[in-house]
Structure 1
């Protein structure tokens, strides 16, 4: 990263900031959950439906936008998404009815899905060596978005009401859309796009079919989906978990929940660097070890209520580190590795889309589990998902060893 020229630094920093800003109009729902429950008296299951509607819309959008970015270009798709997401966040802040919440937040899910394929496409065009290190550091952009959003939106919700947490983020999203349009080039001047798909429906269909025929990408996508059960659970329910287990206020719970993405920043950077150093062994063994480590950390959450707050915070940090390390490798580095044969945006959209299909079912299901069985029931679900994800990655490693 030290050898980057001025243009590469500008692209990396601006693209990083653009994607981080998306999270202000995504995590505001999670931050506001306890206050919405208290104000409008909706059950956790009902609010889980809103999160699930976001996830299915986001998943569909990932599949579609991954292909569109490879055919139409990243910048115009991302600018459109930032503006639409800002508008939906603003509308959510004025709504009251559950049906309106579901509709508005599902549209926001599609708008948010424009971000990841677009930024991965731009990074894959600009950076063509040490992709583990570059991808690992860049993959922390959504974690910085988390880290920025939890305390900021928690403070806004606690001091100005939960609706303010939806009415303030659009200003930043509109600004980032302008900066992206003016100052981010999709590829270095004079260079061809690494992978530009045929425009139109035929190009989208051909690209999607090509990815479906790749056993490696499909297997990684399934493992990512299982890991997404855990990530989605922590992202959506962490403030409520802290609010109930430790009887914290909404703003304090939001601040403490920030240790999860903080741990993830370290996990992303370390995993990316290690994957470059151990490149001859492939990136899958590092993913496997980190997911197994995550499972061991999750085991400790069964007795969380008996732990001190300090120990609980430390465990959340470790969970973030071991969760987001493999998450970043699968969502960022793997797509960049396949930029020449399938298109980085298309692979990123497919993997992330599969993950959010899982979230669609996991979000309301976890809400139902917590309502009926308490937080230990949710931990059991996350643990089973983590072990299953590790099993799929282990099978890929085993298949690769047999071929040698």
Structure 2
């Protein structure tokens, strides 16, 4: 007899629950990757919406010289050529940075407001259906932005409306996927598992940059349409395969594991009008001797006594907004995330444009180079999770990374002018230090607080807590790009000073929790906590 291949032996070594955990991990990873993939194109397309018109000015100068030689009025020809349309209206004006910033702000402000409502709604609806509808509508609005190019739409109101609508429907994503992944994975290695899982943010940004960058110079409409189709397709996959909670499988397995089938036979009124039920055995698999004694193979019907099922305790009700705020640590981490996300999203929306201006690269090369920030973010998120698991100190881990991030941002603003090599290195380091705390707070910390001991086992608070933390962070995400658009008019140095100030404020908000962690004698590695399901 031939030996079993090692790969097959590896596959059969995992039990059914482990396979379902792997499916949930991979599926939710891909689902939220598609969310970030659909958000990234706007930062890539910005440099195409307002191009560098220096080449047009050169053309105007040449044309003016030739016009003078031919007897034409140079001033009139120069004025005509310099008015050539080299940018996409209405972003061809001098205040284009403010217009682009307002477009970012409209999306992120709608996202921040909608997030507070999304968690509360998500606690009361089936996650699979809620997430599916959100992804399909998000795909629709992402495609609509790209159709602005196809149908030659130049209305600022149209693009802001699409951004607001997209921001609202994208709030369905984060509370849903965090609740789902937390239902399947306990506290044992939550930092490591969610650090790996949260790399979907950076993977989505990278893929979004590459997809948008491929078409940005030739047809920027496709930079939105293709990501929109991808997230809509993933919405269909979500509807078909997402399992919200391990308990959802118990009914299926109970039915499939039943060796024989007992069906309800005709019933009639018994004593005092009570209905008596009879079960009749149906032919199927061979039964044990004891089963055959209980359910004979002939047409004998076995009466079953009526059973009244009484639930020992009622289903836990969803937590209120104020109840979630009273959970220890929710307010501090929410405000810390406000400033941490301000920094992260400023890079997300403005880094390609900054590289274009500072390094004098075209839109595609700048978009490709900006992906290194997200590569660093993947490593930073995983490291933050591992370190916090080992130390058992989430707040301290975030504080250390925030303390290192501020001077690193200043170094990046200085080194980015000294060539490509130093810029690549600093992008990786900045990505790790900026996205590390952001990743840890939005995943492991949110899950810890959503299953806090003060909730007494009420797992229905997880979506609301996650939405409060991420919604507060999204306020910073809305302010960051807006402030960057306003401050960049006075030079990019002012933008970096704003980012460093935000990092220090995030650090200050965690000082109370850090002090509590360092002075607590009960602090121990989270890996020592028993792995359990919620």
Same fold flag (TM > 0.5) = yes
**Aligned twin of 2:126:** 73
* Aligned position for 2:336: 223
Are positions 1:141 and 2:141 aligned together?
Answer: no
Unaligned runs of 5+ in 1: none
- C-alpha distance in 2, partners of 1:138/1:45? 35
Alignment of 1:382 with 2:499, yes or no, is yes
Contact residue 69 and residue 121 of structure 1 kept, 8 A:
no
Please name the residue that 1:16 is paired with: 29
1:88 to 137, 141, 163: 141
Over 3 Å counting, the alpha-carbon distance change for 1:101 and 1:197 in structure 2 is farther
The 1:185/1:249 distance shift into structure 2, 3 A limit, reads same
Q: 1:361 aligns with which of 479, 494, 501?
A: 479
1:224 CA drift (Å): 0.7
CA deviation profile, 1:178-202 (whole Å, cap 9, x unmatched): 111111110114579xxx874xxxx
**2:140–2:232 contact (8 Å) kept in structure 1:** no
Q: Distance in 2 between matches of 1:111 and 1:22?
A: 11
- Post-superposition shift, 1:216? 1.4
Of residues 153, 159, 170, the one that matches 2:228 is 170
1:283 aligns with 2:401: no
Match for 2:185 among 127, 139, 144?
127
- Identify the match of residue 155 of structure 1 among 184, 192, 214: 214
Using the TM superposition, give the Cα deviation of residue 351 of structure 1 relative to its aligned residue in structure 2, in angstroms: 1.1
Q: Deviations over 1:294-329 (max 9, x none)?
A: 112112033245321110111011111011111111
Instruction: Choose the corresponding residue for 2:46, options 25, 30, 33.
Output: 33
- The answer to whether the 8 A contact 1:116-1:349 is kept is yes
Query: Which protein, 1 or 2, shows the higher relative CO under an 8 Å CA cutoff with sep ≥ 6?
Result: 1
Partner of 1:391: 508
| Partner SS state of residue 8, structure 1 | helix
* Pair 1:191–1:197, CA change in 2 (3 A): farther
Q: What is the aligned partner in structure 2 of residue 325 from structure 1?
A: 436
Contact kept, 8 Å, 1:82 with 1:174, in 2: the verdict is yes
How many aligned positions are there?
391
Matched, 1:265 2:378: yes
Counterpart for residue 6 of structure 1: 19
TM-score normalized with structure 1 length: 0.92
Q: How far off is 1:391 after superposition?
A: 1.4
Q: Does 1:186 align with 2:250?
A: no
Match of 2:467? 349
Structure 2 CA distance, aligned partners of 1:187 and 1:146?
A: 28
Q: Where does the alignment leave 5 or more consecutive residues of structure 2 unmatched? A: 1-12, 52-86, 251-314, 522-534
2:248 and 2:140 map into 1 onto residues whose CA distance is 36
* Cα separation, partners in 2 of 1:215 and 1:5, compared to 1, 3 Å: closer
1:104 CA displacement: 0.8
- Residue 96 of structure 1 aligns to a residue in which SS? coil
Query: C-alpha distance in 2, partners of 1:180/1:234?
Result: 30
Question: Structure 1: how far apart are the matches of 2:158 and 2:336?
Answer: 33
SS in 1 for 2:320: helix
Deviation at 1:24, TM superposition (A): 2.4
Match of 1:250 in 2: 363
TM-score normalised according to structure 2 size: 0.70
C-alpha contact (below 8 Å) 1:62/1:352 kept by paired residues: yes
Question: Are the equivalent residues in 1 in contact too, given 2:402–2:434 (CA < 8 A)?
Answer: yes
The secondary structure found in structure 2 opposite 1:258 is: helix
1:214: how far off? Answer: 3.4
Which has the larger Rg? 2
CA distances 1:310-352 after superposition (whole Å, capped 9, x unpaired): 1011101111101111111100001111233372221221111
Partner residue of 1:335 out of 446, 459, 462? 446
What is the aligned counterpart of 1:118 among 152, 176, 179? Answer: 176
Aligned to 1:293: 404
CA 154–237 in structure 1, closer or farther in 2 if over 3 Å, else same: same
Rounded to whole Å, the distance in 1 between the matches of 2:439 and 2:449 is: 15
